[in-house]
Amino acid sequence: MRNMVETLRILVVDDEAGMRMGAKRALRSLRVEVPDVECEVALELDDAPSAEEAIEKIKSDSPHLLLLDYKLPGMSGLDLLDRITEMDGETLTIMITAYASLETAVTATKRGAYDFLAKPFTPQELKQVVSKAAARVVLSRQARRLAEERRLVRFQFISVLAHELKAPLAAIEGYLRIVRDRSAGDDQGAYDHMVDRSLIRLEGMRKMVTDLLDLTHIESGQKSRSLEAVELAEVVRDVLETFAPAAKQRKITVSLHTEGPLTITADRSEVEIILNNLVSNAVKYNVDGGNVDVTLKGDQESVRIEVADTGIGLSAEEAGRLFEDFVRIKNARTRNILGSGLGLSIVKKLALLYGGDVIVSSRPGEGSTFSLVLMRKVPNEGPAPADQP
């Protein structure tokens, strides 16, 4: 949102030409400051001598802000206010009352005016009132934009998810049909292989659903986190044990390097999710006979977990988008490796939750090292507000 220019159209409605000119002159030099938003507000000023002409201009230009004189020849300011409310409700009206009459101001406000200004007023008073209304227009516009962006992100997430779940479903369905119809003839080995492949794709789907639940828990902030003293080496050992069979099968050596106990305040299941994802990747994307080294280091404030593999590695471009949702690196060496594309996105979100971060250093063909830093004390209790499903 930096360096954004927000255009604000202001229509001055007054039957006195001098008032219209004066107001426009005063506003020309107005610099609108919107708190907490870095943007420039460009004002476009126009005027109308009557309510009837104002209606035409509102229809054609849809101004954001109306400086409306209460007393007008023909249709009155209050009647115009009613018309505006009927028309869209997007335009903010500042009612200019002829005298310092509280009663008129109250009536106008009740009928939908945003603010009022009593004649006679100084240019400074005018600027102040317009400034406040302008800030409000810009803020609500940005809020709307943000809501729309979130809606799009959510929509995109759901369509990618649906696509990712459809692929294994189609694969499993295809195998089931072949087995049912005995399309491979008498080749029992072929059917066994197809059943195995179906189980692998089902496992992939299960992982995707689990990851999705983890992600939803983290982002919704609903999950009740139970913070306790967690001994990291202990968790790492458990995780390494889980992946030992897969590693052994491919002759991958898995080791833990630590200089003694290292304790952090954390939700144990979250630390497990992080390590599960990193170690699982280190095994999955390794070469047969390779190494996975998990190193734990710590100081007073933070702990550092490094998971290094001797696997296929990543290019700088690939590393750059690795932590986004559903990003999977597609190339000849990864095409038969299954994954949800959510694991590292989860790791990143959890790391941020612990006031830390995760980075990757890698070279294609030489392996990757994921370095994760977590604060020993959780900075804030609740997770960040969700901006994704």
Partner 1 sequence: MSIARKTVLLVDDDQDFLLQQKTLLQAAGFDVAVAQGRAEAETVLQKSRPDLAVVDLMMEHMDDGFALCHEIKTNWPNVPVILVTAVARETGLEFDPNAPKGGSWIKADAMLAKPIRFEQLKREIDRLCG
Separation of alpha carbons 286 and 281, rounded Å = 8
**Least distance (Å) from partner 1 to the CB of residue 159?**
8
**Least distance (Å) from partner 1 to the CB of residue 187?**
9
**Least distance (Å) from partner 1 to the CB of residue 54?**
44
Q: Quick one: which of 267, 268, 243, 272 has its CA closest to 255?
A: 243
- Cis amide linkage into residue 63, ω under 30° from 0: no
**Least distance (Å) from partner 1 to the CB of residue 331?**
5
Residues making contact with partner 1 (CB under 8 A):
159, 163, 166-167, 170-171, 173-175, 178, 183-185, 190, 193-194, 197, 201, 330-332, 335-336
Q: Quick one: which of 135, 116, 136 has its CA closest to 126?
A: 116
Quick one: 184 or 359, whose CB is closer to partner 1? 184
Quick one: 173 or 259, whose CB is closer to partner 1? 173
**Least distance (Å) from partner 1 to the CB of residue 312?**
14
Separation of alpha carbons 147 and 111, rounded Å = 28
Separation of alpha carbons 389 and 374, rounded Å = 24
Quick one: 79 or 173, whose CB is closer to partner 1? 173
Sign of the dihedral defined by the CA atoms of residues 277, 280, 286, 289, in that order:
positive
What is the H or E stretch that residue 344 is in? helix 343-353
Q: Please tell me whether residue 47 adopts helix, strand or coil conformation.
A: strand
Q: Quick one: which of 387, 278, 328, 318 has its CA closest to 160?
A: 328
Quick one: 204 or 356, whose CB is closer to partner 1? 204
**Least distance (Å) from partner 1 to the CB of residue 173?**
7
Quick one: 253 or 331, whose CB is closer to partner 1? 331
CA-to-CA dists, residue 284 to 167, 210, 277, angstroms: 20, 18, 10
Quick one: 37 or 202, whose CB is closer to partner 1? 202
